[in-house]
Structure 1
Amino acid sequence: MGQSDVNEAGLGRRRFLTLAGAGLLAAGTVATTSGRALAMSPGDRDPFTLGVASGDAMTDRVVIWTRLAPEPLDPSTRFGMGDLTAVPVRWRLARTESHLGTPSKWIASGEAVALADNGFSVHVDVTGLDAGRRYFYEFEVDGPDGTVLRSPIGRTHTAFAAGDDRTARFAVVTCQNIARADGGEFYFHGHDHLAAREDIDFVVFLGDYFYEFGRGAHVPPREISSLDDYRTRYSQYKLRDSLREVHRRFPVYVMPDDHEFFNDYRGGDLGGVGQVRRFNHALQALWENMPLRNGHPGPLGDTKNHLALYRRIAWGTNLDLYLTDVRQYRGPSLLGNAQTDDLLDWLRTTTATWTALATPTPIWWNGGNNGWNAFTGVRDRVTAVLEERKAATPATFNPVVLSGDIHCGIVTHVRRFRDHSSPFVATEFINAPMTSQSSNQFLPDDEVRGAYNGMYGYMECIAEPTGWKVRYVVGNQTDDPNGTATGELPWHLDAGAAPGTVYQPVHQEA
């Protein structure tokens, strides 16, 4: 399958170029500079086919990323990089897009080295930035005959400062699958919608960025296991125009679930050397293809590698977000001791208006046994702190849970224990999948306040000084290249209100 076959048909060329502007045109050529040249023709061998991305934004820093891959679906040519082993990549960051053309106006610049052993990926942690503001960045490499090949221009945003009372608005994406069981393709209409927005501060990818299984529309069409397999699968998904545009326009925070590795894997209890090697391949590819701050996961081999992925994300006074890793430590426990202690300490001490616990699998007691509900010990410890903290500071502690995995958007609640009579301790918003299908059907009752059966897209979250809102942006046309996604009536929580009081206003908001 060629690159043109996997591009997002739902984002037509005219509309896409309108959204992307000059920043997403193919790499062009300008005057010569120093550095080792890429052995490729500038006319038809763009090294930046996978675009650019930024992520793990903090108040004073952000990671910018790219991966050189002129032939992103062909591991036999090392994805178009041939016999190169190291390529200098220059980068720069400025306050406006136009300032990128004027060196004196660059806020930061430098040179990184894209190594073959790292899939020719580049991660630059740009520091010394101002809080709560937008920046623009780009990369470039030397091409043949004195040319320079430039990347798309990326846009990013630093986190709000500690005292900044602005509203934080972000999107949550889960469960995006390209390959239908019948050999056809699904289309990412949620990303079409998201890529066109100007009001989103950042995006959280909360699990199942791609699927590892074999189907006719996947590249390769079999289940993947080698490092080159995983690199190719990431390439295939990133070749979707709208997904690549989301990465170009917004900083992201990434937390994998299982399918970025293999189905239902237990990182704390891998079954032998074969699973360890496959896990290491998947972990390496995850790091290579995402704008992650933490360093390289380690050498490939028969010893299990590790990436520290659980983390706290603070955006001003209104949002404190914690991403939990429910896969790498799973075995005797769900989170491992260090992550559990860190999470509980965060729940006890956070002072933001909204305390948002983001986890790939639901805490909701009826959300299946594929995560929290299979580990009642840690679940009980977390729900106990939620209950205690709300009782002690009811006006200022406002917890919400964000999750995914079960392929249906659901508005529900976390109960203290796994029984119907147990009290509510938080409201939970389970994300609608981007495309992944399910036969699950949920009806509203005293447990399920709202359900989006057979609907696909993403979840928009808004943290304000006086309230929390969630809007499901969904549609039911994942098989149709011309389908759409639309924002549904938002759900509201009032700051200081008791768990269980989520509601929808009578009239649709603008």
Structure 2
Amino acid sequence: MGQVNRRAVLLGGAAAVSAAALSSTVPSWANARTLAAAPAIHDPFQLGVASGDPLPDSVVLWTRLAPAPLNPDGFGGMPDASYTVDWELANDQAFTSIAQRGTVTAARASGHSVHIEPVGLEPGREYFYRFKTSGYISPVGRTRTAPAAGAAVNQLKYCFSSCQHWEEGWYHSYKGMLADNPELVLFLGDYMYERKSGRAAAERNPRRLAFTEDVTTLAQYRARHAQHKTDADLQNAHAMAPWIVVFDDHEVMNNWNGTTSPATADRKAAGFQAFYENMPIRSTAKPSGASIRLYRQFTWGNLARFHMLDTRQYRSAQVPDPSGSTGPACTDMRSTSRSILGTTQEAWLLKALETQPAKWDFLGQQVFFATRDGDGNKATCESPDSWQGYEASRDRIAKGIVDRKVPNPIVLTGDVHRHWAADLRRDYFNHSDPVFGSELVTTSVTSNSDTATDPSSTWLSNNPHIKYCRGKRGYVRVTASQTQMRADFMTVSDTTEYDFSKVTLAADRSYVVEAGKPGLQRV
């Protein structure tokens, strides 16, 4: 594993206080009584800093104290004690103009994670933040608040990614994001993997998991999250801009669901707790046992609205893969009683879509929305771990979008480890059915695809709504304006090569959607 310069400040500015300074004096900003009561620690900011869930007057600031992140007990090398953490939010990266500051306690029960939710901030502006404890200063992070509701916004650039298995590559995608300098980053699931790579050792990246058994306990989930977060490029991307994060399955267990999950309630509770502790998300998402509320909405002035969905926790049981056949599995996949969102979340989304306060509605979620049809036969079924596996649920959302005349809906998707671009229809077997929106699917950051070949010409003729597919690693960069949305499908030539100078990262394909004119157009 490459060494991370934990004290490096991403954007310039403050340097860390040395351990020697701690031994001689207690910094003026520290709480001497608390420090005296807690054992001394070395640099606790090994996991960096992050921000997320931006509102017009608030944003979450995050860090987690972990001087030894990979310790198997899950506590990151922290003693069994509480620590005072000071935080500062500044108008400038040199911290000469402090907007807000405060103190919080990092407790063992929450994995010594810190979630700050300052309020009363100015909308649509940039801030810088940092944390201090035990004589150390964290790296500096940059964040921003969302524009005020209804405020005129001409442009938003954001990136989205998913699926970053530690063993299967270097996170070069985040070097690309850093160069893109987006205002916002979305992560759509599989931030960490609960199991080791299934690929042969010769095909995998040189770095290895600290422990190879499947994670099932809170200690293991904490340690696995921590290992993923030690990646320097991932830390830099977190410190660059606010993130909006949702999970998929591997944050708990492959293919779990909320109905007949193979994951026990204890395992889900452990996975949810570790997810919360390691993500810059609001206290409204703090889990209660085996339940966590992740679906939520964010607006970006009059330009964009993000509906962040949870297609995992409330879904009906996934049916066995029918592999393109007919039969009972098809009947189940088309049952009107089945849902991928659950009744409450479906109603919440459809209610929100009754109004259109912004030009673009982006649905950030985990699994493929459009149909992928292998044989052109409407009677057969496939892809149960997608919206195809919940056809009635998908149709209720599609019908809701059409009936409400949502002008510019774009579905954002992860999960499948390949780039895809598709147009959305009510009936994918009627190739003249009107297009009502589009879907952008990001490939994985590192996790490799089980299918290496591109779709055949026959397959594509059965799926004319599918405009693009590529099995490279990467992410998607989106630039939205009042007149159009542009999506650049960014690809990395090699994620197993550590030396980035030997790697090519560029837009493999680009599409635009003109506002008010549904359908992807190739640039």
Q: Distance in 2 between matches of 1:306 and 1:327?
A: 12
Deviations 1:174-220 (A, max 9, x none): 1111214xxxxx1111111112333x111001011111112482222
Q: Distance in 2 between matches of 1:77 and 1:201?
A: 32
- 1:95 aligned residue: 91
Residues 1:284 and 1:188: Cα distance change in structure 2 (over 3 Å): same
The residue that corresponds to 2:505 in the other structure is 485
* CA distance in 2: counterparts of 1:18 and 1:120, whole angstroms: 22
Is 1:135 paired with 2:117? no
Q: Could you say what secondary structure the match of 1:91 adopts?
A: strand
Deviates more, 1:368-377 or 1:352-361: 368-377
Match of 2:146 in 1: 159
Q: Where do residues 261-340 of structure 1 align in structure 2 (5 Å cutoff)? A: 261-271=252-262, 275-295=264-284, 297-298=286-287, 304-331=289-316, 333-340=339-346
Cα contact 1:171–1:204 (8 A) shared by 2: yes
Aligned to 2:333: none
Contact 2:11–2:93 under 8 Å retained in 1: no
Deviation digits for residues 210-261 of structure 1 (CA, Å, limit 9, x no counterpart)? 1111248222212111111111111111100000111111100000000111
Matched, 1:57 2:54: yes
The equivalent of 2:516 in structure 1 is: 496
Report the alpha carbon displacement of residue 21 of structure 1 after superposing the two structures with TM. Answer: 3.7
Q: Conserved in 2, the CA contact under 8 Å of 1:238 and 1:244?
A: yes
Deviates more, 1:230-239 or 1:477-486: 477-486
Secondary structure at 2:396's aligned position in 1? Answer: helix
Identify which of 216, 219, 226 aligns with 1:235. Answer: 226
The residue aligned with 2:367 is: 361
Stretches of structure 2 that go unaligned for 5 or more consecutive residues are 202-207, 317-337, 374-382
Task: Return the alpha-carbon distance in structure 1 between the equivalents of residues 242 and 367 of structure 2.
Answer: 23
SS at match of 1:317: coil
Amino acid at match of 2:508: E
Letter of the structure 1 residue corresponding to residue 400 of structure 2: V
Q: Which position in structure 2 is the counterpart of 1:251?
A: 242
Does the 8 Å CA contact 1:190/1:484 hold for their aligned counterparts? Answer: no
2: CA distance, partners of 1:191 / 1:149: 26
Instruction: Please list, as runs of the form range in 1=range in 2, the aligned pairs for 1:172-251 lying within 5 A after superposition.
Output: 172-180=160-168, 186-198=169-181, 200-215=182-197, 217-251=208-242
Deviation at 1:131, TM superposition (A): 0.7
Local SS of the residue matching 1:266 = coil
1:79 Cα offset (Å): 1.7
Aligned to 2:412: 402
3-state SS in 1 of match to 2:443: coil
Partner of 2:107: 115
TM-score computed with the length of structure 2 as normaliser = 0.83
Q: Label 1:23 to 1:342 Cα distance change in 2 as closer, same or farther (>3 A).
A: farther
Q: Is the 8 A contact 1:353 1:398 kept in 2?
A: yes
Report the 3-state secondary structure (helix = DSSP H, G, I; strand = E; otherwise coil) of the residue aligned with 1:288. helix
Give yes or no for contact 2:9–2:139 (8 Å, CA) kept in 1: no
Tell me the distance in 2 between the aligned counterparts of 1:268 and 1:108. 44
Change (3 A) 1:27 1:286: farther
What's the offset of the Cα at 1:418?
5.0
Residue aligning to 1:465: 482
Distance 2:40 2:259 in 1: 43
Letter in 2 for 1:254: V
Q: Percent identity?
A: 31
Give the root-mean-square deviation of aligned CA atoms: 2.3
- 2:369 and 2:164 map into 1 onto residues whose CA distance is 21
Q: Which residue does 2:378 correspond to in 1?
A: none
Does 2:139 correspond to 1:125? no
**Contact 1:294–1:307 (CA under 8 A) maintained in structure 2:** no
Counterpart in 1 of 2:440? 429
Distance across 2 between alignment mates of 1:27 and 1:253: 33
| C-alpha distance in structure 1 between counterparts of 2:455 and 2:514, whole Å | 25
Amino acid at match of 2:394: R
Number of equivalent positions = 462
- Secondary structure in 2 aligned to 1:281? helix
Bigger Cα displacement from structure 2, 155-164 vs 481-490: 481-490
Tell me how far apart the structure 1 counterparts of residues 31 and 283 of structure 2 sit (CA, whole Å): 30
Q: CA deviation at 1:389?
A: 3.3
Judge conservation of contact 1:137–1:153 (CA < 8 Å) in 2: yes
Structure 1 contact 214–224 (Cα < 8 Å) conserved: no
1:24–1:173 distance in 2 versus 1, CA, 3 Å: farther
Which residue, out of 453, 460, 469, partners 1:451?
A: 469
Instruction: Return 327-336 or 246-255, whichever deviates more.
Output: 327-336
> Does structure 1 residue 417 correspond to structure 2 residue 423?
no
CA contact (8 A) 1:189 1:484 kept: no
How many Å separate the matches in 1 of 2:285 and 2:118? Answer: 17
**TM-score (ref. length: structure 1):** 0.85
Q: Which amino acid aligns with 1:493?
A: V
Once residues 403 and 387 of structure 1 are traced to their aligned partners in structure 2, the CA distance between those partners, rounded to angstroms, is: 20
Q: Which residue of 1 aligns with 2:393?
A: 378
State the match for 1:170 in structure 2: 158
Distance 1:39 1:296 in 2: 31
Q: Report the Cα offset of residue 466 of structure 1.
A: 0.5
Determine if contact 2:193/2:250 at 8 Å carries over to the other structure.
yes
| 1:489 to partner: Cα distance | 4.2
Letter in 2 for 1:431: T
Q: Which residue of 2 aligns with 1:183?
A: none
Q: Equivalents in 1 of 2:473, 2:174: separation in Å?
A: 11
Once residues 46 and 363 of structure 1 are traced to their aligned partners in structure 2, the CA distance between those partners, rounded to angstroms, is 44
Larger deviation, residues 159-168 vs 225-234: 159-168
Question: Which runs of 5 or more structure 1 residues have no equivalent in the other structure?
Answer: 181-185, 506-510
Counterpart CA distance in 1 for 2:414 and 2:15 is 31
Deviation of 1:284 (Å)? 0.2
* 1:76–1:324 Cα change, 3 Å: closer
Q: 1:96 is aligned with what amino acid? A: D
| Maintained 8 Å contact 2:45/2:66 | yes
SS in 2 for 1:57: strand
Distance 1:220 1:72, change over 3 A: same
Residue 149 of structure 1 corresponds to 136
> CA separation of 1:110/1:210 partners in 2, compared to 1, >3 Å: closer, same or farther?
same
Conserved in 2, the CA contact under 8 Å of 1:333 and 1:375?
yes
**2:74/2:223 contact within 8 Å kept:** no
Mapped contact 1:310–1:325 kept (Cα < 8 A):
yes
C-alpha separation in 2, matches of 1:293 and 1:442: 41
Hey, what's the Cα distance between the residues in 2 that align with 1:492 and 1:366?
22
Q: Is the contact between residue 55 and residue 253 of structure 1 (CA under 8 Å) also seen in structure 2?
A: yes
Distance 1:106 1:484 in 2: 40
Distance of 2:106 and 2:285 partners within structure 1: 13
Q: Contact 1:365–1:415 (CA<8 Å) still a contact in 2?
A: no
What is the CA distance between 1:428 and its match in structure 2? 0.8
Whole-Å Cα distance in 2 between the matches of residues 439 and 336 of structure 1? 29
